[in-house]
Amino acid sequence: MSLELLIVKCKKNNRKAQGELYSLYAKKLFTLCLKYSKSYAESEDNLQDAFVTILSKIKQYNGKGSFEGWMKRIVINTALQRYRKASVLDVIKDDDFLEEVVEIEVDHVSLEFLLSIIQELPDKYRLVFNLYVLDGFSHKEIAEMLNISVGTSKSNLSRARNILKDKIEKNEFKITKTL
Amino acid sequence: MGNKKNIDRLFQEQFKDFEATPNDAVWGNIQSKLNERNSNKRRIPVWVMFSCAVATLVFFVGLSMLFLPANESVEAVVVTPENQNSISNDKFVSAGKEEALFVNKSTEKIIDSKLKVNQSNANMGVMYLKTQKDGLSNESFKIKSEVTSAAVKSKLANRGSNEINSNILLLNKSELIQKPSLVQNSSGEMVNGNNKMFASNKYRYDVVKGEGVVAVAEGNTKVVFNEKLNNQDSSRSASGFLSENNAKNNVIEQTNAIKKFTPITSSNIEEREFTGNLKDNSNDIVEDNVVNFSDDTILVKSEMENSLDRISLVEEVVIDEECKEEEVGATVEKTIDEAVAELEEIQKNEDNIDDNEVAFSKWKIAPNIAPVYYNTLSSGSPIDSELSGNKKKGKINMSYGIGVGYAINKKLTIRTGVNKIKLGYNTQDVAIYPFAEAPVDGRGLKNITLTSEASSLNLSGSSGYSISQIPSSYSLLYDSSLNQRLGYIEVPVELSYKISEKKMKINVIAGVSTFFLNENGIYTETNGIETHIGEANNLNKISYSTNIGLGFNYNISKAFNFNFEPTFKYQLNAFSNDSGNFNPYILGVYTGFSFKF
């Protein structure tokens, strides 16, 4: 079944089509959830909420732009909503953060490890890091999405990078020690 | 050691092809949530529609019941020298009770038709009509009747031993309630009706003295809508329009016009001194605007059609401003300041629409007024079990009060307030006769403490026997009904939960009310004439009710809402002992404005 047909059927509330859509995209979207959440359980909650939103608002998808992008946007919004509600996005003074490049020497690093240190990041750092580095949003867009200033977004990103770097380095150190 | 790498790139590369499989249970949860959502979607509209239907029905039944009984009573009580004979014939003779109290009055002699209009009680202007009557039987008793919904008390004073105080319905009750009036009585005194009670309603009615009482009763009332100055009218309609426009967010063209002449008016105001009289007038106008405001919102559509005319009116006001009356300036200035403030608010609102974290007002204050319908869910009677089989007819009265609300969060509001509420119902087919002539099985009704004037009366539910069975010697038998009247100060504590966030907000309201008894009376009603005979002795001074309702709040501006709340209140312990399986409830349509701050 083509994606277009699937979407049409989903718009008509066809439960089978909805299931198909889910199995088609669950993995990709779940990955997204994992990055934006603190834990596996929270990611599942997010996926669940996001998919309910997707299926109940699918009529609003007008075929412009990629369907996957549309869904991703909903997943990200759902994740952000959680933290907007919890108002964890403290305002940080607009320092002039230069776009610094954080470099790191790595040998052995697993995806699981990277995911775990992302999840361990404080909420505001995690969100900005994900949005900017992994999902390609600009600081301006991030500032709008999170209702913070561009400066805050930049500073959060910089702090996130440094925290991640420290953790990776410590990990490297541990690994080299054991080797 | 490995390669140096940009940390961003490290993550990007690693996550590029990353896929993880969620737990299978997630899809199950999604399905159940979707099902829930679908069923909710279907359930709410039916419920809302049902509630709307009930509310509308109650509203219109309420309106019609407010007007209809009043008309009958007006007919029943028009007693003047000119037509008294015919009234007697129509009303009393036809009732087949020539021997009865009111029939053989020689009422031509109205000795003292001094009219006193009493402004003390809520909706009573009381007029005393003293007249002579003779030919009554020997029993000396007084029937003192009061008609709370009406305005006139006529006192038929007998030179001999008999005295009848009977009340006459004079003014249409609903008129009194809805249009507190300035009544001009026959002796030319100006008497303030119940303006205090309904301060928001400032329409003035001049009751023109035509044929004394009759004129009033027949509604020869002239409505004067403060038609003092053309200018006032124009300013009023203009400002009413402006307010309405604000409510409708139709702002752009008007904004300029309003802003343009605000400074002119305010400077004019500063230069001028008001006489007391003029101030009063301007206040009236401003208050009129409040009323107009609500009217206009209803008539938005037609108003909009006239919008162009109105704009030109506004401009005329500006031009005329400097050389015309002060009141105009006062009105225009006030309303325009308000208008500008509201415009700014609306603009702010629009800016904030996309922002999820708009600050919201926590407190609100809401005066309300409501027609309340009182009746029982079962057939019992709290007066006496003998009356439990009798038909009961609920009555519509008014409740008015003020409430405050505190928003716990965006959806949940806790609210309380104080309402003054009057309730009443009617027990039909009750026989009344003097105690001395009571049938063997007759007895006084159990839960009434009779007044001294009525202590010689006996009452009986007439369901047990037919009136024709009572020997004709029981000359003072009445085929009457009993009205029980209650008045309370009500203190509700309610939670309201918002279920719809549109321009028209819908809330579910639930809570409890505490009722403090402040009025207790039982009246007989015979041929449209009410007689106070005593009070119920089984009413609790403090009682409670459980409340449930639906609130419709229409945003006029950010801070100002119009509320419409049909509410059902089930009384829990209104009667102390032996409530006789009487389960009273109150159905009210609470209407008013609320102001958030």
Tell me the nearest-neighbour CA distance from A27 into chain B, angstroms.
5
**Phi-psi region at B156: left, alpha or beta (left = phi > 0; alpha = psi -120 to 50):** beta
Q: What is the pLDDT of residue B346?
A: 64
If 0-12 CB within 10 Å is exposed, 13-18 middle and 19+ buried, where does residue B116 land?
A: middle
Polymer length in residues for chain B = 597
| Among A58-62, A63-67, A136-140, B197-201, the least confident range | B197-201
Residue B85 CA to residue B108 CA, distance in Å, equals 8
Q: Produce one character per residue of B224-253: b if its CB has 16 or more CB atoms within 10 Å, e if not.
A: eeeeebebbbbbbbbbbbbbbbbbeeebee
The torsion angles phi and psi of B11, rounded to 5 degrees, stand at: -70, -40
Contact across the interface for A165 and B7, Cβ inside 8 Å: yes
Which residue among B11, B21, B356 sits closest to A134, beta carbon to beta carbon? B11
- Asked if B7 and A104 come within 8 Å (Cβ–Cβ), the reply is yes
The structure tokens 């859509």 sit at A21
* Residue of B15, B21, B411 to mutate, interface with A, max A Cβ within 10 Å: B15
- Nearest by CB to B22, from A44, A101, A147: name it: A44
Find chain A residues with C-beta within 8 A of B6's C-beta. 101-104
Which of B6, B22, B34 faces A52 most closely, judged by CB atoms? B34
pLDDT digits (tens, 9 = 90+) for A113-141: 888 999 999 888 899 999 999 888 899 98
Within 10 angstroms of residue B376's Cβ, the number of other Cβ atoms is 19
With cut-offs at 50, 70 and 90, classify the pLDDT of residue B251.
very low
* pLDDT tens-digit series, residues B116-163: 333 333 333 333 333 333 333 333 333 333 333 333 333 333 333 333
Binned at pLDDT 50, 70 and 90, residue B211 comes out as very low
Continuous H helices in A37-149: 40-56, 67-86, 111-120, 123-129, 139-146
ipTM score here? 0.83
Q: Three-state SS for B532?
A: strand
Instruction: Tell me how far apart the alpha carbons of residues B386 and B394 are, in angstroms, rounded to a whole number.
Output: 19
**pLDDT of amino acid B58:** 67
pLDDT computed for residue B135 by the predictor = 38
% of chain B surpassing 90 pLDDT? 8
Q: Tell me if B555 sits within 8 A of B543, measured CB to CB.
A: no
Residue pair A91/A156 in contact by the 8 Å Cβ criterion: no
Asked if B34 and A56 come within 8 Å (Cβ–Cβ), the reply is yes
- The torsion of the CA quartet B492, B497, B502, B506, rounded to 10 degrees, works out to -50
Would you say B483 and B425 are in contact if contact means Cβ atoms under 8 Å apart? yes
Residues on chain B touching A87 (C-beta within 8 angstroms): 357
Chain B nearest C-alpha distance from A30 (Å):
6
Phi, psi of B405 (to 5 degrees): -130, 150
Lowest mean pLDDT among A12-16, A82-86, B381-385: A82-86
- Residue B265 CB contacts under 8 Å (≥ 6 apart), including other chains: B321, B329, B332, B333, B336
Hey, are the CB atoms on B1 and A105 less than 8 Å from each other?
yes
pLDDT for B490 beyond 90: yes
Phi, psi of B15, deg, nearest 5: -85, -5
Report whether pLDDT(B372) > 70.
Answer: yes
For testing the chain B interface, which of A46, A47, A72, A74 should be mutated: the one with the most B CBs within 10 Å?
Answer: A47
For residue B373, pLDDT beyond 80: yes
Residue of B nearest to A46 (CA): B26
Mean pLDDT of chain B: 60
Percentage of chain B beyond pLDDT 70 is 38
Q: Which amino acid, one-letter code, is at B46?
A: V
pLDDT band at B42 (very low <50, low <70, confident <90, very high): low
Q: Which residues of A touch B41 (CB under 8 A)?
A: none
Does residue B521 have a pLDDT over 70?
A: yes
Interface mutation vs chain A, best among B4, B7, B41, most A CBs within 10 Å: B7
Average pLDDT over residues B569-574: 86
| Mean pLDDT confidence for A9-30 | 87
Q: What is the mean pLDDT of residues B516-522?
A: 90
| Distance in angstroms (rounded) separating the CA atoms of residues B201 and B177 | 10
- What single string gives the DSSP state of each residue in B144-201? E---TTS-EEEEEE-SSS-EEEEEE--S-HHHHHHS--EEE-TT--EEE-STTTTTT-
Mean pLDDT over B291-312 rounds to 45
Chain A CB contacts of B3 under 8 Å are: 105-106
- Smallest Cα–Cα separation from B297: which of B245, B343, B350, B219? B245
> Residue range B204-218: average pLDDT?
36
The distance from CA A16 to its chain's CA centroid, rounded to whole angstroms, is 28
Residue B418: is its pLDDT beyond 80? yes
**B253 CB-side CA count, 13 A:** 9
Which of B415, B379, B383, B441 is closest to B561 using CA atoms? Answer: B415
Q: Nearest chain B residue to A43 by CA: give it.
A: B22
Cα-based torsion angle of the residue sequence A36, A41, A42, A45 in order, rounded to the nearest 10 degrees: 110
pLDDT at B353 over 90: no
The alpha carbon of residue A162 is apart from the nearest alpha carbon of chain B, in Å, by: 9
Here the tokens at position A97 are 């953060």
- The answer, yes or no, to whether residue B512 has pLDDT greater than 70, is yes
Q: Which of B15, B19, B34 sits opposite A55 (nearest CB)?
A: B34
What amino acid occupies position A114? L
Q: Which residue is it, tokens 């499989």?
A: B21
> What is the distance between the alpha carbons of residues B436 and B457, in angstroms, rounded to a whole number?
9
| The pLDDT value given to residue A91 | 52
How close, in Å, is residue A34 to chain B by CA atoms? 9
For residue B425, CA distances in Å to B43, B383, B422, B445, B482 come to 35, 12, 11, 17, 8
Q: What is the mean pLDDT of residues A95-106?
A: 64
Q: Which residues of B touch A126 (CB under 8 A)?
A: none
b/e map B561-586, b = 16+ CB within 10 Å: bbbbbbbbbebeebbeeebbebbbbb
Above 80 in pLDDT, residue B273?
no
Give tens-digit pLDDT for B49-70.
666 676 777 677 666 666 665 4
pLDDT at B335: 62
Q: How far apart are CA B496 and CA B510, in angstroms?
A: 6
Q: Which amino acid is at B51?
A: S
- Per-residue pLDDT, B532: 82
The chain A residue lying nearest B4, using CA atoms, is A105
By a Cβ cutoff of 8 Å, what residues of chain A touch chain B? Answer: 13, 15, 18-19, 22-23, 26-28, 30-31, 33-35, 43-44, 47-48, 51-52, 55-56, 84, 87, 101-109, 111, 114-115, 118, 133-134, 147, 161, 164-165, 168
Helix (H, G, I), strand (E, B) or coil at B85: helix
- Does residue B109 register a pLDDT over 70? no
Region for B506 from its dihedrals, namely left if φ exceeds 0, alpha if ψ lies in -120 to 50, beta otherwise: beta
Higher pLDDT, residue B384 or B109: B384
Give the tokens for residue B177: 């309630």
Cβ of B10 and A106 within 8 Å?
yes
Q: Over A9-37, what HEC string results?
A: HHHCCCHHHHHHHHHHHHHHHHHHHHHHC
> How many angstroms separate the CA of residue B364 from the nearest CA in chain A?
24
Tally of residues, chain A: 179
Contacts 24+ apart (CB under 8 A), A18-25: A18/A55, A18/B31, A18/B34, A19/B27, A21/A55, A22/A51, A22/B27, A22/B30, A23/B27, A25/A68, A25/A71
* Best to test chain B binding among A52, A74, A114, A161 (most B CBs inside 10 Å): A52
Mutation target vs B (from A14, A35, A48; most B CBs, 10 A cutoff)? A48
Note the pLDDT of residue A87.
Answer: 53
Rounded distance, CA B417 to CA B563, Å?
A: 15
Q: Which two tokens stand for residue B10?
A: 């490290």
**Identity of the residue in B12, B19, B38 whose CB atom sits nearest the CB atom of A31:** B19
- Give the residue-averaged pLDDT of B520-542: 82
Tell me the average pLDDT across B552-574. Answer: 87
Q: Report residue B487's pLDDT band, with 50, 70 and 90 as the boundaries.
A: very high
Please state the rounded mean pLDDT for residues B511-529. 86
pLDDT at B417: 92
Give the minimum alpha-carbon distance from B37 to chain A in angstroms, rounded to a whole number: 9
Number of CB atoms found within 10 A of residue B506's CB: 18
Q: How are strands ordered across the β-sheet holding B182-184?
A: B190-192, B182-184, B204-207, B221-224
Pairing of strands B163-168, B152-157: antiparallel
- Contact check, Cβ <8 Å, B22/A55: no
pLDDT tens-digit map of B536-562: 888 888 889 999 999 998 888 878 888
Confidence of residue B347 (pLDDT cuts 50, 70, 90): low
Asked whether residue B522 carries a pLDDT value surpassing 60, the answer given is yes
pLDDT, tens digit, 9 for 90 and up, residues A148-177: 888 888 888 988 998 988 888 888 777 666
Q: Can you give the pLDDT at residue B574?
A: 83
And the tokens for B358?
A: 């708009």
- What confidence score (pLDDT) does residue B215 get? 33
**Alpha-carbon gap: A63 to the closest alpha carbon of chain B (Å):** 23
**B163-196: pLDDT as tens digits:** 333 333 333 333 333 333 333 333 333 334 333 3
Computed over every residue of chain A, the mean pLDDT equals 82
B396: which DSSP letter? Answer: E
Q: What is the pLDDT of residue B39?
A: 65
- CB count within 10 Å of CB B153 equals 22
Q: What is residue B421's DSSP assignment?
A: E
Give the residue from chain A lying closest to B3, CA to CA: A105
Out of B111-115, B370-374, B554-558, the most confident range is B370-374
- Chain B nearest-CA residue for A40: B22
Question: What's the average model confidence in pLDDT over B496-523?
Answer: 88
pLDDT score of B224? 37
Q: What is the mean pLDDT of residues B468-488?
A: 66
Interface residues from chain B to A (CB-CB < 8 Å): 1-8, 10-12, 14-15, 18-23, 25-27, 29-31, 33-34, 37-38, 355-357
Are B34 and A104 inside 8 Å of each other by CB?
no
Highest mean pLDDT among B148-162, B268-282, B409-423: B409-423
